[in-house]
Structure 1
Amino acid sequence: MKYIVIIVDGASGWPVESLGGKTALDAAATPNLDQMARRATVGMTSTVPEGMEPSSACACMSVLGYNPRVFYKGRAAIEAKSLGISVEDDEVVFRANLVTLNDGKMSSYAAGHISSAESAAIIETLNEKLGAADRSFFPGVGYRHILKLKGHADTLNAACTPPHDIADQPVAEYLPQGDSNSLLRSIMADSEPILKDHPVNAARIARGEKPATGIWLFWGCGPLPDMPSFKDRYGINSALTSGVDLLRGLAQMQGMDILDIPGVTDNIDNNYRGQMAGALKALDDYDLVVVHVEAPDEAAHSGDTAGKVKALEDIDREMISQIRDYKKDKLRVLVMPDHPTPLAIRTHAAEPVPFMIWGSGVRITGARRFTEAEAQKTEMTVTEGHYLMSMVVRG
């Protein structure tokens, strides 16, 4: 038996008036997913334990078969691991987004989706101007980067807000709060004059693109906990493909190999067909491959209704069609979002999501399509999402 796990990041959501009261998943034309759903176990599950943050880090950990209550200690260190950044006992790390602030408002949580190459040049400058023995910046993918602090564990007491939670809102009341906020606030403020006249920003403005006006710090945490490997836990070899550091970091924590597939990105320009073709080819060497697709989540964070629907339709046409045509081995597939990203709020929600287990030996639960409403109708509920992996690989 071979296994594919497809994480359609942020695919789930709420009804949208402009879509006739449908969710993006319901409005999208997904004939391949729908045909699979009619011969699959379809239901609902919770990937974010009560009281925990509805981040992709927490939710994807659930999808990968690990209980976030036990193993989740923070997101930034997971991304740091994917970048090869060590975090010692006296060190903490923060996610450092390049953002666009305009008249005191969060104009773009992603600096207009700045490229990795442009970001790397900016992060190099920030290290030259702001770096010190107790602080270093590390470039990541696109707008997502890491700040490491040494000897400042107190900064973890500051309350920080993710920038995608405050799109188009005034930022003053969302700056790091609490008694330990001063260092974080000063780093954020000091970044702004450095970036104001940066050559990368001058070029972006000339092209009519949003500049990176500053750095935004959040999701701080210390070193990672030990985690049993996926092989030890489930008895099979595994690999993952993703365009974001977070998923690659989670995979490394679990001893999964990382697939290097050309054209895999963190946005709607993703090479959907190539990513799935590479994943299926990898089944020659692995028992299970995880395919993480970020595009629907990014579209939802941007409030792009049409973009989210299109991403779901592209995934169905370019990726899911290949799954249905796979003939080499017996195959079992898990398809699901990690969390909802409702277009109305442009951030994550801690609500149940639909899941589908399709393939050899699965029970048919009567869904007609792969949508939130159809999943709810089956009355099939898995209370905690981390149990799904066992259902997939152990039947």
Structure 2
Amino acid sequence: MKLLFLIADGMGGWPIEELGDKTTLEAANTPNMDMLAGKGLVGTCRTVPKDMAPGSDVANMSLLGFDPRTYHTGRGPIEAAAQGLDLDPDDLVWRMNLVNISSFEENGTMFDYSAGHIGTDKSVPLVEKLQKELGNDEFTFYPGIQYRHLLVHKGGAKKAERELEIRPPHDLTDKPIADDVKEFAKSPLMNKLVRDAEKVLAGNGTKAVSIWPWGQGKPLTMPPFKEKFGMKGAVVSAVDLIKGLGRASGLEVIDVEGATGLVDTNYAGKVEATLKFLEHGDFVYVHLEGPDESGHMGSVEDKIKSIERFDKLVVGPLLEKYPLDKANYVITCDHYTPIETRTHDAAPVPFILTAPKCIASRLESFSEEIADRTGIIIPEGHDFMQWVLDKIK
């Protein structure tokens, strides 16, 4: 029997007045998830430990069965693993967004954490320019995808920069950046680098007017997924975060052309890649970023659309090829990304586990409230994978 984890990043949220006090999940038309909820177990899982920030890095590491309190070193190191960077143990790896801010000053505002969702074709030349003009023996700029890039500080893990507490830019949309500018100022080195980068990026014709290094840490190391859980597995995602977790744990990383991480991603391509891997593999972690990006943008319409497309274009086609007598399904999200706050929330996430050996819940639909009412809760997210495997034996 195959096992599919289908993850709609940031799908969870709170009731919204304009939707008649429904969540976007409740408002969305999701016949496939509703059917699976009625035929399986429904509950909630705390993917983010109470003492950690509710990021996709922490939450997805938990869902893959690894305790983030043991293995997590930062967002940057996970994405560096995706690129297969050759790093020394004492390097400090930063996730580096290209952002749109009013100015890198204490009176500045974060307009857009994604520089208008800048395309990779425009962002890569900018990062290459930063490397040419600011890169040196200490700092290296590595281009990534869209607005998501990397900055490596050689030997930085032994220096004070490791302790800087810079907030994720997606937490700051339309908010002041004064606290972060002050935090950067604690390091003359980082303060100068960001200000110099602002000069290099000036007048480039895009909304990328500054860099925003954050999520720094030492290189990531994780044990092999196959040794831990006995399955040959793969990850399918548009984002380096998931690819990095996959590569670091020995899962096959499948790239899909046209996968954007947005509402218009290549759904059919992700399904095709999943089906092809399942011809010889046991487990696939299929990740869709669209609901999360829509939540960060505060778009009710796009979040509902992304949830509906996840249900129709991912869950539905996979069920057609692998019905419930041939595969076990987990449907969930890594964390909430509520429209109201436009950032992540650490609330326990709703999940469905549908497998031949599971007793049917006979629920009529799937939502945050319904999942919470069942009383089934996994208090430690990294235990969820083993809990699922025990249920489907």
Under TM normalisation by the shorter chain, which class is it? over 0.9
Instruction: Indicate the SS of the match to 1:93.
Output: strand
Instruction: Indicate the SS of the match to 1:175.
Output: helix
Aligned to 1:129: 133
What does 1:325-364 align with in structure 2 at a 5 Å threshold? Answer: 325-327=320-322, 330-364=326-360
Ranges in structure 2 where 5+ consecutive residues have no aligned partner: none
CA contact (8 A) 1:62 1:386 kept: yes
What does 1:373-384 align with in structure 2 at a 5 Å threshold? Answer: 373-384=369-380
Instruction: Indicate the SS of the match to 1:177.
Output: helix
Q: CA deviation at 1:343?
A: 0.9
Q: Flag as ranges the 4+ runs of structure 1 deviating above 4 A.
A: none
Q: How many residue pairs get matched?
A: 384
What does 1:215-364 align with in structure 2 at a 5 Å threshold? Answer: 215-225=211-221, 227-327=222-322, 330-364=326-360
Q: CA deviation at 1:297?
A: 0.3
**C-alpha distance in 2, partners of 1:176/1:84?**
33
Percent of pairs identical after alignment? 38
**C-alpha distance in 2, partners of 1:250/1:332?**
22
**C-alpha distance in 2, partners of 1:110/1:184?**
21
Instruction: Indicate the SS of the match to 2:101.
Output: strand
User: Are 1:147 and 2:142 counterparts?
Assistant: no
What does 1:1-395 align with in structure 2 at a 5 Å threshold? Answer: 1-102=1-102, 104-152=108-156, 153-175=159-181, 177=183, 180-198=186-204, 201=205, 204=206, 211-225=207-221, 227-327=222-322, 330-395=326-391
Q: CA deviation at 1:261?
A: 2.4
**C-alpha distance in 2, partners of 1:218/1:171?**
13
Ranges in structure 1 where 5+ consecutive residues have no aligned partner: 205-210
| Inter-CA distance 102–178: structure 2 relative to 1 (3 Å threshold) | closer
**C-alpha distance in 1, partners of 2:128/2:18?**
43
Instruction: Indicate the SS of the match to 1:15.
Output: coil
Instruction: Indicate the SS of the match to 1:137.
Output: strand
Q: CA deviation at 1:179?
A: 7.5
**C-alpha distance in 2, partners of 1:151/1:262?**
35
Superimposed CA distance per residue, residues 315-339 of structure 1 (whole angstroms, 9 cap, x where no aligned partner) = 1111111132124772001110000
**C-alpha distance in 2, partners of 1:161/1:254?**
27
Deviates more, 1:136-145 or 1:182-191: 182-191
CA contact (8 A) 1:77 1:87 kept: no
CA contact (8 A) 1:5 1:335 kept: yes
Q: CA deviation at 1:75?
A: 1.5
Q: CA deviation at 1:272?
A: 1.3
Instruction: Indicate the SS of the match to 1:114.
Output: coil
Instruction: Indicate the SS of the match to 2:124.
Output: helix
Q: CA deviation at 1:375?
A: 0.5
**C-alpha distance in 1, partners of 2:190/2:322?**
53
Q: CA deviation at 1:105?
A: 1.5
Q: CA deviation at 1:174?
A: 2.4
Q: CA deviation at 1:299?
A: 0.6
Q: CA deviation at 1:379?
A: 1.2
Q: CA deviation at 1:22?
A: 1.1
Q: CA deviation at 1:178?
A: 7.1
Q: CA deviation at 1:370?
A: 1.5
CA contact (8 A) 2:236 2:256 kept: yes
**C-alpha distance in 2, partners of 1:151/1:229?**
27
Q: CA deviation at 1:175?
A: 2.3
Q: CA deviation at 1:365?
A: 2.9
Q: CA RMSD in A?
A: 1.6
Q: CA deviation at 1:172?
A: 2.3
